[in-house]
Structure 1
Amino acid sequence: MPGRLLITGLGGTLAPHLAQAATAAGWQVLGWDKNRIPVDDEVAVAAHLQASRPDAIAHLALGAVSWGAMLAGHAARQSLPFLFTSTAMVFHHEPDGPHGPGDERTAQDEYGRYKIEAEDAIRAACPAARIARIGWQIHEVSEGNNMLATLDGWQREQGRIAASSAWVPACSFMPDTAVALLQLLQDDDGAGQTVHLDSNAEEGMSFDRLVAALARRFDRQHWRIEVNEDYRHDQRLADPRPGRMPGLSRRLDQKP
């Protein structure tokens, strides 16, 4: 199956890991330069897709909902596998989780509502699209929306890390998410599915325990962790097909 894989968001946090996994699997990775091909120009988007001739599309970038719909529409017309990454944030903390793929999306914040709109536009343009909801991503060195980098920032800026024992976050290590995304894109059975990719779905580690485990795993002995119960939410992303993601402990128990 490997051919030309268009991945949007290569300047972001997770997409480079997907590109690495795809390259290792034999794909030729194509990117998208927003400065050269404006995402709000339907003619330019269509022309670029015709010129680049991707064999599959993975849409990880933030951008106009209409851009995602254009990419999905092209995939539908050309019968190409299409993957979109959404988020656990489509679910508000009330009602509580774990949240299943078919649960009502209850987001009240702007980001969550944006992702709901994007999901719907993509599904309308390409019924066979694969939509993967993911949680907070973890990596030792990646910048951007990386839990470890955020925790380092909290410690540096606030002198402490407030960690709720009443929050069970949806989260995974980036390389594991990248492999699962690639498998979903390549799997014929994935067409038309909305799936949840969460390494904490079965283990259910609370945020305070996770922060302590990350401190041990990545030698953050200077972190000052203050446990509270300020935020209550079982955010886990349950999926009817277990085994898509390894448990958090698989990486947390590794030696540095």
Structure 2
Amino acid sequence: MKAIITGMNGTVAPYVYEELLNHDFEVIIWDRSQVDIHSFESVHNFISLHQPDIFFHLATGPIEWLEAIVKSTDELNIRLLFTSTVSVFSEKGSGPYDITSIPNSEEDYGRYKIMCEQLITNHHHNAVIVRLGWQIGAHARTNNMFHYVSHQHKTQGYIEASSKWFPSCSFLDESARVLVDCALHFHPGLYMANSNRKYSFFEIVSFLKDKYHTDWNIKETTSFQRDDRMIDSRVKMKELF
């Protein structure tokens, strides 16, 4: 099978790329320096040239690029996998969230993802949308939870971690496994992927400290209280720990 993937300079796509190779996919990487994302003709011609079985759109970009991808893949009868986010829900509210929860973000990124979800739902007959939580990598070189807490410890000498905050989060390799599985086997529609069943941010950071043998000084707080967990029984993910 063949796939096109966007977002290889981001956090999730490199892991999905490796997972696709493990499934014996031929993977075409979208290079923005070679394919103009602002030209519908360029987008359509690139997709038409390669004729992938699945298009993995994991990048963030202008809505016009997504429109071109959606229209082209739908016309060419190509399955589309799009990653959305728990950030579609308001930071002023609290979960846990399920598939019936109404997206209501006031933030630019969340509103952008809501717009993307609506566009895909309305104009693609064979698309899978997967909302992801905060991703956890094994190092501090990418935009993930490990990077965030490592940077906080480096800059202020300690990490503040609330025992009253329950984030949606997953390890990157598990997210990649689930995204490929959804693309291959799930019916078109909206799904939510989260590995955190019950743990607070304080518990998660403490676990990461032990797992990666760091010297972090972790300070438990309770001032930030929110439940951001997403629950979707259709998506089977390994628990965090």
Partner of 1:47: 45
Partner of 2:223: 230
Residue pair 2:136, 2:172 contacting (<8 A) in 1 also: yes
Deviations 1:109-146 (CA, angstroms, capped at 9, x unpaired): 11111111111112222132100001111111363221
- TM-score (norm. length: structure 1): 0.90
Partner of 2:13: 15
Q: Indicate the larger mover: 169-178 or 62-71.
A: 62-71
Residue pair 2:89, 2:103 contacting (<8 A) in 1 also: yes
Deviations 1:127-179 (CA, angstroms, capped at 9, x unpaired): 32100001111111363221112111110012111111111000000111101
In the alignment, the residues of structure 1 paired with residue 148 and residue 128 of structure 2 have an alpha-carbon distance, to the nearest angstrom, of: 29
> Among residues 207, 213, 219, which one is paired with 1:219 in the alignment?
213
2:183 paired with 1:193: no
Correspondence list, 1:57-76, <5 A = 57-76=55-74
Q: Secondary structure at the match of 2:98?
A: coil
In the alignment, the residues of structure 1 paired with residue 121 and residue 30 of structure 2 have an alpha-carbon distance, to the nearest angstrom, of: 22
CA RMSD of aligned residues (A): 1.3
Amino acid at match of 2:195: S
Amino acid at match of 1:191: H
Unaligned residue ranges in structure 1 (runs of 5+):
250-256
In the alignment, the residues of structure 1 paired with residue 7 and residue 187 of structure 2 have an alpha-carbon distance, to the nearest angstrom, of: 22
Residue pair 1:93, 1:234 contacting (<8 A) in 2 also: no
In the alignment, the residues of structure 2 paired with residue 123 and residue 34 of structure 1 have an alpha-carbon distance, to the nearest angstrom, of: 25
In the alignment, the residues of structure 1 paired with residue 116 and residue 108 of structure 2 have an alpha-carbon distance, to the nearest angstrom, of: 12
Q: Indicate the larger mover: 21-30 or 233-242.
A: 233-242
Amino acid at match of 1:240: S
Deviations 1:16-50 (CA, angstroms, capped at 9, x unpaired): 11110111111001111111212111111112112
2:240 paired with 1:248: yes
Partner of 2:201: 207
Count of residues in correspondence between the two structures: 241
In the alignment, the residues of structure 1 paired with residue 43 and residue 234 of structure 2 have an alpha-carbon distance, to the nearest angstrom, of: 35
Residue pair 1:195, 1:239 contacting (<8 A) in 2 also: yes
In the alignment, the residues of structure 2 paired with residue 5 and residue 143 of structure 1 have an alpha-carbon distance, to the nearest angstrom, of: 26
In the alignment, the residues of structure 1 paired with residue 116 and residue 140 of structure 2 have an alpha-carbon distance, to the nearest angstrom, of: 26
2:54 paired with 1:56: yes
In the alignment, the residues of structure 1 paired with residue 140 and residue 209 of structure 2 have an alpha-carbon distance, to the nearest angstrom, of: 16
Unaligned residue ranges in structure 2 (runs of 5+):
none
Q: Provide the identity percentage.
A: 30
